[in-house]
């Protein structure tokens, strides 16, 4: 059977455990579990199966997170940040909630596309590392595992992004770092405040190479 979505969070401990249990979680804070807003929230939960959804109507939990009733909050571990969506006096339905989640669900490795680009721009992390690679390559699953392992080491410091070089919409990203198709796969790093950047062409993605490249740039 499927676990009940969203999970009811009755107290602060439940909520804290829930948030620390996944890279990205969404909690709906409501006064009434059966309100129209809560119903729309349940619909949204069904549309985003890979993100855990929690729901709380506890006054203590709402005040602990400093939210008013009818707020949806997305918590993400990658930059210890959160995003709030206030549903009061706004006509927020399941569709808008789903879009809000898709835009803000940054993970340890976030795949870059027109929707996640918005969340990437708004991340509180000033350093972005991009792995520009062909997702169709037989080496991709392995590269991805390595990249994910490296991302763990820079959690809260650098936002790790995956850019699929096959996508037409990503050509701008590749040319931004002055890379040619022949130089891929490549790592590219970017410091948002001053647009400082560096790129490195590589055949093999290893945790050491990624670490070295990042540390050199951070220094």
pLDDT at 1 over 60: no
Please state, rounded to an integer, the average pLDDT across all residues of the chain. 94
Do 210 and 120 sit in the same domain of this protein? yes
Which of the four pLDDT bands, split at 50, 70 and 90, describes residue 89? Answer: confident
Task: Identify the helix (H) or strand (E) that includes residue 38.
Answer: helix 36-47
Q: Please check whether residue 1 lies inside any domain of the structure.
A: no
- Report CA Rg, the chain: 19
List, in order, residues 6 or more apart from 33 with CB less than 8 Å away: 8, 55, 57
Token pair for 153 = 């080491």
For 173-212, the pLDDT digits (tens) are 999 999 999 999 999 999 999 999 999 999 899 999 999 9
In percent, the amount of the chain with pLDDT more than 70 equals: 98
Do 27 and 75 sit in the same domain of this protein? yes
Pick from 103, 107, 85, 91: nearest CA to 30: 85
Which of the pair, 2 or 12, is modelled with greater confidence? 12
Q: Please check whether residue 78 lies inside any domain of the structure.
A: yes
- The CA-based diameter of the chain, rounded to the nearest angstrom, is 57
In percent, the amount of the chain with pLDDT more than 90 equals: 87
| Residue that is last in its domain, among 52, 76, 104 | 104
Q: Please check whether residue 203 lies inside any domain of the structure.
A: yes
Helix ranges (DSSP H) in 48-154: 59-64, 94-104, 114-121, 140-153
List, in order, residues 6 or more apart from 47 with CB less than 8 Å away: 94, 98
Q: Please check whether residue 19 lies inside any domain of the structure.
A: yes
Domain count, the chain: 2
pLDDT of residue 91: 86
Token pair for 50 = 């890979």
CA distance 198 to 213: 9
Which of the four pLDDT bands, split at 50, 70 and 90, describes residue 114? Answer: confident
The answer to whether the beta carbons of residues 152 and 108 sit under 8 Å apart is yes
Q: Phi/psi at 64 (nearest 5 deg)? A: -60, -40
The model's pTM is 0.86
Do 117 and 196 sit in the same domain of this protein? yes
pLDDT of residue 90: 80
pLDDT of residue 203: 86
User: What is the domain-level CATH number for residue 65?
Assistant: 3.40.30.10
| Residue that is last in its domain, among 104, 128, 154 | 104
The domain of 37 spans 7-104
């Amino acid at each position: 059977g499927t676990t009940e979505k969203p999970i009811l969070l009755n107290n602060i401990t439940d909520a804290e455990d829930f948030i620390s249990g996944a890279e990205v979680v969404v909690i709906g804070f409501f006064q009434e579990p059966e309100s129209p807003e809560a119903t729309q929230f349940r619909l949204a939960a069904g549309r985003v199966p890979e993100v855990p959804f929690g729901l709380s109507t506890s006054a203590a939990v709402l005040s602990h997170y400093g939210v008013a009733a009818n707020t949806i909050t997305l918590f993400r571990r990658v930059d210890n940040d959160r995003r709030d969506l206030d549903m009061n006096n706004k006509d927020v339905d399941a569709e808008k909630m789903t879009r809000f989640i898709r835009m803000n669900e940054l993970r340890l490795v976030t795949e870059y596309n027109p929707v996640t680009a918005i969340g990437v721009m708004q991340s509180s992390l000033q350093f972005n590392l991009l792995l520009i690679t062909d997702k169709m390559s037989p080496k991709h699953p392995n590269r991805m595992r390595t990249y994910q392992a490296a991302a763990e080491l820079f959690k809260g410091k650098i936002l790790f992004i995956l850019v699929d070089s096959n996508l037409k919409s990503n050509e701008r990203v590749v040319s931004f770092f002055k890379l040619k198709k022949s130089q891929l796969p490549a790592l590219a790093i970017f410091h948002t405040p001053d647009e400082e950047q560096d790129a490195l062409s590589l055949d093999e993605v290893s945790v050491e190479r990624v670490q070295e490249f990042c540390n050199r740039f951070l220094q």
